[in-house]
Chain A
Amino acid sequence: MMDKLIFGRYIPGNSLIHRLDPRTKLMSAIFFIIIIFFANNIITYLSLALFVGLAVVLSKVSIRFFINGIKPLIWLILFTVILQILFTSGETIFFRLGPIILSQEGLINGGFIFMRFVLIIFMSTLLTLTTMPLSLSDAIEYLLRPLAVIKVPVHEIALMLSIALRFVPTLMDETEKIMNAQRARGIDFGEGNIYEQMKSVVPLLIPLFVSSFNRAEELATAMEARGYKGGEGRTKYRQLSWQTRDTLTMVSFGVLTALLLLLRT
Chain B
Amino acid sequence: MNEIITLNNISYKYTDEENQYALDNISFSIEKGEWIAIIGPNGSGKSTLAKTINGLVEPESGEVKVGEFDLNEQNIWSIREMVGMVFQNPDNQFVGSTVQDDVAFGLENLGIPRDQMVERVHDALEKVNMLEFAEREPARLSGGQKQRVAIAGIVALQPEIMILDEATSMLDPKGREEVLRTVKEVKERENLSVISITHDIDEAAAANRIIVMRAGKVVKEGTPEEIFSYGEQLIEMGLDLPFPEKLKSSMKELGIRVPSEYLTEEGMVEWLWTYGSKK
Give chain A's interface residues, CB within 8 Å of chain B. 1, 4, 6, 133-134, 162-163, 165-166, 169-170, 173, 214-215, 218-219, 221-229, 233-239
Contacts and interface: CB of A to CB of B under 8 A. Distances in A.
B35 interface: no
Interface magnitude class on chain B: 35 or more
Contact of B111 (A1, A133, A162, A234): A234
Contact of A237 (B54, B87, B107, B157): B107
Nearest to B109: A227
9 contacts: A169-B138, A215-B89, A222-B93, A225-B54, A226-B105, A234-B109, A235-B108, A236-B114, A237-B104
A221 to B, nearest CB: 6
**Nearest 5 pairs of A and B residues by beta carbon:** A237-B104, A222-B93, A169-B139, A218-B92, A134-B97
B108 A234 contact: yes
Contacts of B94: 166
Contacts of B97: 133-134, 162, 165-166
B119 to A, nearest CB: 12
Nearest to A238: B101
Nearest to A219: B92
B95 A237 contact: no
Contact of A236 (B54, B81, B108, B153): B108
Contact of B87 (A1, A221, A235, A236): A221
Interface string B8-23: 0000000000000000
B106 interface: yes
A32 to B, nearest CB: 26
Contacts of A228: 105, 109
Given A223-B95, A225-B54, A237-B121, A170 B106 contact: no
A219 B109 contact: no
Contacts of B54: 225
A134 B95 CA distance: 12
B243 interface: no
B117 A229 contact: no
Nearest to A227: B109
Given A170-B139, A221-B87, A229-B109, A235 B117 contact: yes
B95 A222 contact: yes
A166 B97 CA distance: 5
A223 B80 CA distance: 11
Nearest to A2: B140
Interface of B: 51, 54, 56, 77, 80-81, 83-85, 87, 89, 91-98, 100-101, 104-114, 117-118, 121, 137-140, 153, 157
A139 B139 CA distance: 22
Given A215-B91, A239-B114, A225 B56 contact: yes
A215 B157 CA distance: 24
A115 to B, nearest CB: 36
B165 to A, nearest CB: 10
Given A166-B94, A166-B138, A225-B80, A235 B89 contact: no
A164 to B, nearest CB: 10
A207 to B, nearest CB: 16
B56 A221 contact: yes
Given A218-B92, A226-B109, A237 B80 contact: no
A152 to B, nearest CB: 20
Nearest to B100: A237
Contact of A218 (B87, B118, B140): B87
B101 A237 contact: yes
Given A227-B80, A237-B114, 6 more contacts: A166-B138, A170-B91, A218-B87, A226-B105, A235-B114, A237-B121
B138 A218 contact: no
A18 to B, nearest CB: 13
A166 B111 contact: no
A227 B81 contact: yes
A163 to B, nearest CB: 7
A227 B139 contact: no
Contacts of B157: 226-227
Contacts of A1: 140
Contacts of A165: 97
B79 to A, nearest CB: 10
Interface-central residue, B77, B100, B105, by most chain A CB under 10 Å: B105
Nearest to A230: B109
Nearest to A172: B139
Contacts of A239: 114
Nearest to B81: A227
Contacts of B109: 226-229, 234
Contacts of A227: 77, 80-81, 106, 109-110, 157
A176 B77 CA distance: 39
Contacts of B83: 225
A238 B111 CA distance: 13
Contacts of B51: 221
B66 to A, nearest CB: 13
Contacts of B111: 233-235
